[in-house]
Chains A and B, each alone.
Chain A
Amino acid sequence: DTVLTQSPALAVSPGERVSISCRASEGVNSYMHWYQQKPGQQPKLLIYKASNLASGVPARFSGSGSGTDFTLTIDPVEADDTATYFCQQSWNDPYTFGAGTKLELK
């Protein structure tokens, strides 16, 4: 299976820029997607196919990367962005998710 590795946690101050990384154990072309999940809620699609902003998602969120290395960037970070962020690949079978990066605000 394709393993997606994310750093477990990050802490940033409001107004700053933060980059969340996701590294795949094998190539996933551009089929990497990013989700935001707040406690008690379902995941919400932020970015699809590496760099495409999902409908209704603020332009503060952006994605980049291809192959095995991908990044989700939030600039500027707002208080409401406190959440866990997951990457997911849909290129290789089975689809897999990262373990998530918990973003905390200082």
Chain B
Amino acid sequence: QVQLKETGPGLVQPTQTLSITCTVSGFSLTSYYMQWVRQTPGKGLEWMGFIRSGGSTEYNSEFKSRLSISRDTSKNQVFLKMNSLKTEDTGVYYCARDLNYGFDYWGQGVMVTVSS
């Protein structure tokens, strides 16, 4: 069955870099776009960006200068890296599979706290 699971650091210091891994099973990354969405107390659900089935990426311009999405298809993993973290980046980060019409499977999310 389709499963997605995010793993990440939990606590990150301001100005540092956030790295999250999304490990998937039950489908191939070469067949679906993969999305990153976060949920913060200040802005609610925010679309961050995606990686296409072919490997190219698109980012929300709000994050574009500090966000990178990549993948390792051999390990069934998608990666999010975001630098220059601020306290406002505190929230839950989700990866999700893109049905092309909505995001049909989501990971359980990883809580990230940005604090010194």
Contacts and interface: CB of A to CB of B under 8 A. Distances in A.
Contacts of A43: 45, 94, 103, 106
Given A42-B94, A42-B108, A97 B46 contact: yes
A90 B101 contact: yes
A: contact size bracket: 20 to 34
A86 B101 CA distance: 15
Given A94-B60, A94-B62, A97-B44, A48 B106 contact: no
B47 interface: yes
Nearest to B6: A42
B107 A90 contact: no
B107 A45 contact: no
A97 B47 contact: yes
Interface string A92-106: 011111011000000
Given A94-B62, A96-B47, A100-B44, A44 B102 contact: no
Contacts of A44: 106
B99 interface: yes
B102 A95 contact: no
B102 A48 contact: yes
Contacts of A49: 101-102
B109 interface: yes
A94 B103 contact: no
Given A94-B60, A94-B61, A45 B103 contact: yes
Contact of A52 (B61, B94, B101): B101
Give the most central of B45, B46, B58: most A CB within 10 Å.
Answer: B45
Nearest to B97: A45
Interface of B: 37, 44-47, 58, 60-62, 94, 99, 101-104, 106-109
7 contacts: A33-B102, A43-B45, A48-B102, A93-B58, A94-B47, A97-B44, A97-B45
